Structure 1
Amino acid sequence: MSDITTLSFEEAMRELEATVGKLETGEATLEESIALYERGAALRAHCEARLREAEARVEKITLSASGQATGAEPAEGF
């Protein structure tokens, strides 16, 4: 299996979908299911982190003087 940190968002999503499919069949042994679940959880966390990174690059939240969110504006470079 490849190192999750090197996967693109799309690659990780494809692998996560395949992992979920394997778990749903119920054909894996208990040990295989545990390993698949652990890998799936790591893939999900990786996808979430990649999404947060992308959102941060695209949008910057603007705050009022009191620290309340007042809106969003494009990040620099966009």
Structure 2
Amino acid sequence: MFGLPSLSKLLVLAVVVLVVWYGFKIVNRLDNARKSEAKLRAYERQKEEESRKSKGEVEEMKACTRCGAYVPASNPVNCGRSDCPY
């Protein structure tokens, strides 16, 4: 009943084990590639955001003649006081 299996059964078992082994290796490689690509995209996104922040436009400001609050020179807005000239 528990005798030595035939050679063909051993070969089939070896093939099944090798297929499963290499299948796991391929899945692991694909997973690692996907993770590294996601990290690269996140890094590039972070660098892009940093460059966008560093390239922020600088606008000239001028002081309000009444209260001294600084308002944009190109488009002055009311500073909130009732006697504000803007």
- The two structures share one fold, judged by TM-score above 0.5: no
Give the TM-score normalised by structure 2.
0.39
* TM-score normalised according to structure 1 size: 0.42
The answer to which structure has the higher helix fraction is 1
| Larger relative strand fraction | 1
Bigger relative contact order, structure 1 or 2 (CA pairs below 8 A, ≥6 apart): 1
Rg (Cα) greater in structure: 2
